[in-house]
Amino acid sequence: MKGNVTCSTTWNFQSAFFFSGTIITTIGYGNIVPSNETSRAFCIIYALVGIPLFAIMFSGLGEVISNFLSKLSSHVDKLDTKPWIKNFLIYFIFGLFGFTLFCCIPAAIFSIVEKWPYTVSLYFTVITLTTIGFGDYVIGENPDIDYIPLYRIMVYLWMLFGFAFMATFVQFTSERLRQRAKSRKDRRRQKKVHQIKTETTPEDSSNLTEQEGISFMVFLFWC
**What per-residue confidence (pLDDT) applies to 105?**
95
Side-chain half-sphere exposure of 142, counting CA atoms within 13 A: 14
Q: Is the pLDDT of residue 48 over 80?
A: yes
Predicted model pTM: 0.72
Give the model's pLDDT for residue 177.
76
Closest CA to 50 of 14, 31, 22: 22
The per-residue pLDDT for 204 is: 47
**72-111 CB burial, b ≥16 within 10 A, e <16:** bbeebeeeeeeeeebbebbeeebeeebbeebbeebbeebb
User: pLDDT tens, 106-124?
Assistant: 999 999 999 999 999 999 9
**pLDDT category, 211, cuts 50, 70, 90?**
low
Domain count, the chain: 1
Report the C-alpha gap between 177 and 171 in whole angstroms.
10
Residue scoring higher pLDDT (14 or 103): 103
pLDDT of residue 208: 43
CATH number of residue 71's parent domain: 1.10.287.70
85 in a domain, yes or no? yes
pLDDT of residue 110: 95
Rounded-to-integer distance, Cα 172 and Cα 119, Å: 28
Determine, yes or no, domain membership for 28: yes
pLDDT of residue 120: 95
Task: Locate all alpha helices (DSSP H) within 105-150, ordered by sequence.
Answer: 105-113, 118-129
Torsion angle defined by CA atoms of residues 81, 86, 92 and 98, in that order, rounded to the nearest 10 degrees: 140
What φ, ψ does residue 8 adopt, rounded to 5°?
A: -80, -10
Among the ranges 8-22, 45-59, 173-187, 197-211, which has the highest mean pLDDT value?
45-59
User: Which residues span the domain enclosing 105?
Assistant: 13-190
Domain-embedded: residue 212 = no
